[in-house]
Amino acid sequence: MERAILSLHYTDDLFISWRGTDWEFVSKLKKSILDLGVTVNISKEKLNFLETLVEIKDGALVTYLYRTATAGNTILHALSSHSKTMQWNIPYRELLRP
């Protein structure tokens, strides 16, 4: 995309900074991607990408840690029938979150 200023990706998530109109971006995206479901979040000031909040301040990109509203603490009873790996992995993953 010739108007892309910055393009980053992680697995199936894309972050693109675009020089042009919103309509041009969505139109170009629809023409270049075949048979894929695409969710587009457009903002001129800030948006969430993965677990970061990306914001423009004084003409520069600034990032902050971001935690989604659905990213709550997960409790699993010790006597549940889940595997021991799952029981140990939940607290481990919770501790990795900001």
pLDDT band at 33 (very low <50, low <70, confident <90, very high): low
Average pLDDT over residues 64-84: 76
Q: Dihedral of CA 75/78/79/82: which sign?
A: positive
Bridge partners of 56, per DSSP, are 61
Q: What's residue 62's pLDDT?
A: 92
As a whole number, the mean pLDDT across the chain is 78
Q: Per-residue pLDDT for 85 more than 80?
A: yes
Comparison of pLDDT for 24 and 98, the residue scoring more: 24
Contacts of residues 12-21 at CB distance under 8 Å and 24 or more positions apart, as own/partner, are 13/49, 13/50, 15/49, 15/54, 17/61
- Rg (alpha carbons) of the chain, rounded to whole number: 19
